[in-house]
Amino acid sequence: MALSVLRVGAATRSLCSSESASKLHQLTSSPSSSSGWVRGAQPLLLHVALRMAADKKLGGSCRRACGRLQVHCVGWDPEGILGPPQGGHIARRTLEKLMQAEGDEKEAIEKQASLERERRRAAREARIVPETNEGLVEFFMQTEAQDFDFEIARCRLRLNGEFFSYLQQEVSSLRFSLDRTKDVEDRLVELEALQQVLIEGTEAYDKLSLDLVRAKAQLARILASKDKRATLLEMVAKNELDRSLLALLDQNIATANAAGQEQVSKFMEKIRGAVLKYISL
């Protein structure tokens, strides 16, 4: 026991201050320390001495080490609350970030497209259709390619025989001109292309108009029928169903959704499904 006490005293003297170590050594090495409360308190005194030494001499290095503390047992879950550990966390987080970035990019593209459509709509509405055939030719010469369908539909009544006769005269005068300069050649090519586009465009518009009128009559017949399935079968037998009816139904569905008429929209969608089924057959 004396040897142990001496070792404790030496250890504490090397770690603690001289004053506190001397007092502790005197306490533990006194003759009365072999009996009484001191003998029972030797383990406690040893713990206190070592703790004082660590706090005083090693406190700075301990605090610095704690600043670099690393946790290695991250999967410790003795009660199984968290379940078995799963890998791939970095890959999942990377995928989530990529999906979020793609969503933001898609939203920005859709917003830009919406702004572009609004700009084009405002630009079309701001244009004024000329009253003369010459002005109408220049009007179409300045029209963008993606706006031709809209302008042909708006000016269809002006695109008559008189206008096409005037356009043909312009083409003929340039084709048989004696002064065939480069500007004349370019103008001739532009007028010939415009003439071809307007002829094909008016033919397509007229066909679409007839199809739309026929589709409206077909839809009115279906809606007025008490037995819609029998009416559809009869129209299929006569080959009266076509894609124009589907286009009209799509337009009515979009209009109903925009107006918040859910029942009308669902009813039109039901009819569209039946028409699409019979057209596919």
* Domain final residue pick, 202, 233, 253: 202
More confident residue, 1 or 226: 226
pLDDT at 197 over 90: yes
pLDDT in tens, 11-70: 444 444 444 445 545 544 554 444 444 444 455 555 555 555 555 554 555 455 445 555
Number of domains comprising the chain = 3
CB 241 within 8 A of CB 232: yes
Name the domain boundary from 170, 202, 234.
202
**Position 77 pLDDT exceeds 50:** yes
Q: Is residue 14 part of a domain?
A: yes
Q: Are 52 and 62 in contact (CB under 8 A)?
A: no
Parent domain of 152: 134-202
Q: Does residue 119 form part of some domain?
A: no
3 state DSSP class of 132: coil
In a domain, 260, yes or no: yes
Same domain? 193 vs 141 = yes
* Per-residue model confidence (pLDDT) at position 191: 94
Residue pLDDT, tens place only, 119-165: 888 888 888 889 999 999 999 999 988 889 889 988 999 999 999 99
Same domain, 12 and 51: yes
Cα 241 from chain centre = 38
Asked whether residue 257 is domain-assigned, the answer is yes
Higher pLDDT, 158 or 105: 158
Three-state SS for 30?
Answer: coil
Asked whether residue 223 carries a pLDDT value surpassing 70, the answer given is: yes
For 37-77, give the DSSP string. HHHHTHHHHHHHHHHHHHHHHSHHHHHHHHHT-----TT--
For residue 176, report the phi and psi dihedrals to the nearest 5 degrees.
-105, 20
**For position 85, what pLDDT does the model report?**
64
Look at residue 103 and tell me if it is in a domain: no
| Residue 145: inside a domain | yes
More confident call, 65 vs 231? 231
pTM: 0.52
Domain-embedded: residue 37: yes
Q: Which pLDDT belongs to residue 111?
A: 85
Q: For residue 22, what are the CA distances in angstroms to 68, 200, 236, 271?
A: 35, 113, 113, 102
Q: Residue 2's pLDDT is what?
A: 41
**Cβ proximity of 38 and 30 under 8 Å:** yes
Say if residue 181 is in the same domain as residue 138.
yes
Domain annotation covers residue 94: no
**CB–CB of 272/246 below 8 Å?**
yes
